[in-house]
Amino acid sequence: MSWLKPAEHQIKAAVFGLCRPFLRKRRPRLDGFNPSAVRRVLLLRPEKIGDMVISLPVFAALHRSYPTIQICVLASPRNYSLIKDDPQIDRIFLYRKRLSDLAVLRSVRAGKFDVVLDMIHGDSVTALFYSQLASRSAWHFGIGKSEHAAFYDYNGLDDAAAEEHIVDASLRLLEPFGVVVEPEDRFVPPHVRPESARVMEAFLQSCGHSPERPLIGLNLSAGRPNRIWPEESVEQLCTSLLDALDGLTLVIITTPDDRSRGERLAVVRRGAVRLVPAGLGLGEVSALISNLDLLISPDTSLIHIARSFKVPVVGLYNRARKNFRHWRPYRQPDGVVMSDHPDTIYDITPQRVFDQVGVVLSRTREAAR
């Protein structure tokens, strides 16, 4: 089914070509934009979990600078749970890629938004159409637009943005509001409910963990099969870590569909490796990650969550990882293990990951002195 995505892009391109003459063009100047008069803002983020994580600093900075503005988000079923309890967000609309989206669009249009922020870096036909249909008269702000730049009143893109991390690039959307975001305010973790924090506290206590002992999380799951590390490599890495770090609590994280791999590992290293409880949501996983000394992961969604808590990471990437410079671990100088293969991470050896864990932990200890 690898032909589906290219076919979808071709269809969207054709529809864009037909509709282009009817789309509202950008205003010639931003002089008429008055942030103090803005009542409601719609932010478009109908994508994956990681995309929503890197958007949290934008929500927080906008709310902090303009607390009376109502912040609404167009989310997807995949990333909805990450923000459903966030007190800064007034309303969430779900984009499901179904006919029911027409009813959602009617609700969005009824909101009469003053500003629509398209948070997708680069051109997206879906986001462009939704921003125009949501409110034709609203101010439309985008980031990194190229072919679609003519339809955005503001497009946060310059030569410096070419190498910016996606967190910093996304915050450019707030420049028309006059919002200045300090370095410390760029780390914004997901909202964790007290009950989720208590669940994880009880789990760690059941593992016999104490704050004085090292706590490392190892995520086995990824969004695509080519980013799943072989079981024998995972087992070898666990052995090396447990031999090298006295008192280590090693916690395995998996998705429900991938849980059997974690169960097999926990059986092989009974008592030394713990598997997270079944049925956890993103809130509980975020609470766990916030307690880690280090996260190892082939999946960037959890890497972004960890960095939002300033938790050090070691990420496994394939050589052809798209836009790596934008999506690398945020403000961390190391912690990347890159495969020599363009499509998979299978050739990454346990020793390379183990060595990088040592580098990251050493730097962390030095910074703490």
Q: What is the CA radius of gyration of the chain?
A: 22
14 falls within a domain: no
212 falls within a domain: yes
Indicate whether 174 and 266 sit together in one domain.
no
Domain of residue 159: give its range: 23-186
Predicted structure pTM score:
0.93
Residue 270 CA: distances (Å) to CA of 58, 131, 138, 190, 264: 43, 52, 58, 32, 10
pLDDT, greater one: 324 or 332: 332
Residue where a domain terminates, one of 124, 158, 186: 186
Dihedral pair phi/psi, residue 330, rounded to 5°: -70, 125
The reported pLDDT for the residue numbered 19 is: 77
Indicate whether 162 and 202 sit together in one domain.
no
pLDDT digits (tens, 9 = 90+) for 151-207: 999 998 755 456 789 999 999 999 999 999 999 999 999 999 999 999 999 999 998
Contact predicate 187/307, CB 8 Å: yes
Conformational region of residue 41, where left means phi above 0, alpha means psi within -120 to 50, and beta covers everything else: beta
pLDDT, greater one: 312 or 29: 312
339 falls within a domain: yes
Residue where a domain terminates, one of 169, 186, 203: 186
- In percent, the amount of the chain with pLDDT more than 70 equals 93
Residue where a domain terminates, one of 166, 186, 206: 186
93 falls within a domain: yes
Task: State the pairing for strand pair 139-143/154-156.
Answer: parallel
pLDDT, greater one: 265 or 115: 115
What CATH number has the domain bearing residue 35? 3.40.50.2000
pLDDT digits (tens, 9 = 90+) for 92-111: 999 998 988 999 999 999 99
Indicate whether 218 and 355 sit together in one domain.
yes
Across the beta sheet with 40-44, what order do the strands follow? 91-94, 70-75, 40-44, 115-118, 139-143, 154-156
Indicate whether 33 and 131 sit together in one domain.
yes
150 falls within a domain: yes
- Count of domains for the chain: 2
